[in-house]
Amino acid sequence: MTALKRVMLKLSGEALCGEVGGFGIQPETLQAIASEIAEVHALGTEIGIVIGGGNIFRGLKGSAQGMERSTADHMGMLATVINGLAFQDALEKLGVQTRCMSALSVKEVAEPYIRRRAVRHLEKKRIVIFVAGTGNPYFSTDTAAALRAMEIQADCLCKATKVDGIYDRDPFKHDDATLQPRVSYDRFLVDRMKVMDSTAVTLCRDNALPIRVFGLSTYGNIKRVVQGEDVGTLVTEDGASD
């Protein structure tokens, strides 16, 4: 893969709490991720970001505990607004111009999402942080990232995770798990790989949007991905390098 001009970066909410199973936002972790993204942005790459809200509230968990699903999902969307504002603050402290755009109406703290306006912000070299998912219950922030990536015509959906790519089995449970550098959309779906939800992958497959899955814990990985290095796992139609 060659260097990318415009990317959609998907970050989990858990990435901001600095530890597996943690809660809230750890300032040191937030600053470290923001610093790396600011460094990549300085190279000229146009960056869109979708952040999950699992470090504050996860809709599926609330639903599993008896809460009405739509209510729980809307609470999860509001959690992503909190994370987005924190990330915006961290980036702007580094001198990076940003815009936070929400799929829900919270006009006092974020712009409403309008596709043409988002593209214009990117063209003006502002980092755009997309919050509140798609604005609809039953859709994950992975799906929101895939949708927004296609709407802004990103070159790739870059999913940063707690592991360094897609494995043939759970690396936390199996010591002999093997990293898969290339995976096709269909294999991802048939094998029910859990790195990203199936709706998001199907959307990417139907629109030929490459997905790069890589580990966020290694500093510099975002830069390597954007510069076209073969980091983590690349998901494409045929599972081969482009």
Domains of the chain: 6-236 (3.40.1160.10)
More confident residue, 3 or 203: 203
Q: Is the pTM of this model over 0.75?
A: yes
Confidence of residue 171 (pLDDT cuts 50, 70, 90): confident
CA atoms within 13 A on the CB side of 23: 3
- Do residues 215 and 165 touch, judged by C-beta distance below 8 A? yes
Residues 6+ apart with CB under 8 A from 28: 18
Which helix (H) or strand (E) element contains residue 73?
Answer: helix 69-92
**Region of poorest pLDDT, from 21-30, 130-139, 206-215:** 21-30
Q: What is the pLDDT of residues 120-145, one digit of tens each?
A: 999 999 999 999 999 999 999 999 99
Q: Name the average pLDDT for the chain.
A: 92
Which helix (H) or strand (E) element contains residue 201?
Answer: helix 198-206
- Do residues 182 and 241 touch, judged by C-beta distance below 8 A? yes
Mean pLDDT, rounded, for 82-104: 97
- Residue 240 clears pLDDT 70, i.e. is over it: no
- Residue 48 clears pLDDT 80, i.e. is over it: yes
